[in-house]
Structure 1
Amino acid sequence: MTQKSDDRTVKMGMLLGFFGTIVVFVSFYSFLPQVAEEVVVVERLKLAIMCLVFPVALFFLMIVRIGSQRYGNPSADPTKCEANTEGMKVDLRVLSNTHEQLMIFAINMLALSVLIPYQLLSLLPIYSGVFVAGRVMFWIGYRRNVLWRAPGFAMSTLPAVVGVGYSCVAILLTVFAVF
């Protein structure tokens, strides 16, 4: 394969992830019940924390997967052998990237839970589901063909970019409204 072909594969994967994310958000938002009245901050934070459980469960599963691969081989001591197989190397990279993404996701989820209008709160569980699906797709794609991780990466990154952007604007508008 050439670099041009690889770039095309990644671009197509990112586009698939981008459009897939939009389709999932729009579809689920139109079918899920909407919040009908304002919700107090404690309930908003409770929703955000509940939406963090499945992403954290996936992260924990990744940790267990890597830990179980260490048993009975030289990687049992990661100071001497970080990964015993190529699959384990991939799993470690996915775990590292998921850790980074999960930090952004958690902060973003908490910020959005208090900043978005109550009518949009049903987006938070959708965001959580899309994040988990994207991370699973990223993991599977990385293990099959490193270029195929792009759709999963897009699914977990695009909502983060939109959410962080929204949160930054909402905070700045609040700050400047005070002055």
Structure 2
Amino acid sequence: MNTLRRNQVLGMLGAAPAVAIAIVVWLYAPQIFAHVPLPADDPGSRLAFAAQWLIIPGLTLLAGIFGASRRGFYADAIEGTRTPKSQSLEINLRYNQNTTEQTLLAAIAWMALARMLPHEQLALIPALAVLFAIGRITFWIGYALHPMGRTFGISLTVFPTIIAYAVLIWDFIQ
């Protein structure tokens, strides 16, 4: 098996459990997160509820920024170049770029979901926040170990967002 094919298979193996987890959480979020108090059922309260959960993606980005700034004080990266000799700084910068992208996509989706979902389904938003955090942590750790190690984490971050956009598009065209 050539390297490309091997990496594709490894990628699918890393993504499969993340997809399964995302589907289970989508289906059972109200039961899994039943302890989370839901907001009042008005537009402002729903949007405020979604906005408060955006602290989770924000914290994952803040952690990455701290990680990159810490690495920037070492001799091999003190000048702040984009492609430094420091592999760990480069991984942190890539993590930050991807986390920024994922956070923006999630923020748009979560706010739209907050308006669209039936009230009893709003527990999905904190569930998505937890998946986001676990996804970002496993992406960062996996990436530091090996580039292919990021597959589970990126999948756990992006697949719930893809599902959210699919649900939102479906609702829009109905």
TM-score for both structures, normalised by structure 2: 0.88
Cα deviation, 1:13-41, whole Å, max 9, x if unaligned, reads 01121112234445553233287897111
Q: Is the deviation greater in 27-36 or in 9-18? A: 27-36
8 Å contact kept, 1:66–1:91: yes
Letter in 2 for 1:138: F
Instruction: Measure how far apart 1:82 and its partner are.
Output: 4.0
8 Å contact kept, 2:56–2:129: yes
1:43 corresponds to: 45
8 Å contact kept, 2:18–2:152: yes
In 1, Cα distance between equivalents of 2:11 and 2:47: 36
RMSD of aligned Cα (Å):
2.2
Aligned length, in residue pairs: 172
Unmatched segments (≥5 aa) in structure 1: 174-179
- Aligned identity (percent) is 21
8 Å contact kept, 1:90–1:143: yes
Instruction: Measure how far apart 1:172 and its partner are.
Output: 3.4
Unmatched segments (≥5 aa) in structure 2: none
Counterpart secondary structure, 2:54? helix
Counterparts of 1:48-63 in structure 2, within 5 Å, are 48-63=50-65
2:118 corresponds to: 117
8 Å contact kept, 1:17–1:150: no
1:157 aligns with 2:155: no
TM-score for both structures, normalised by structure 1: 0.86
In 2, Cα distance between equivalents of 1:110 and 1:27: 20
| Structure 1 runs, 4 residues or longer, greater than 4 Å off | 24-28, 34-38
Instruction: Measure how far apart 1:154 and its partner are.
Output: 1.1
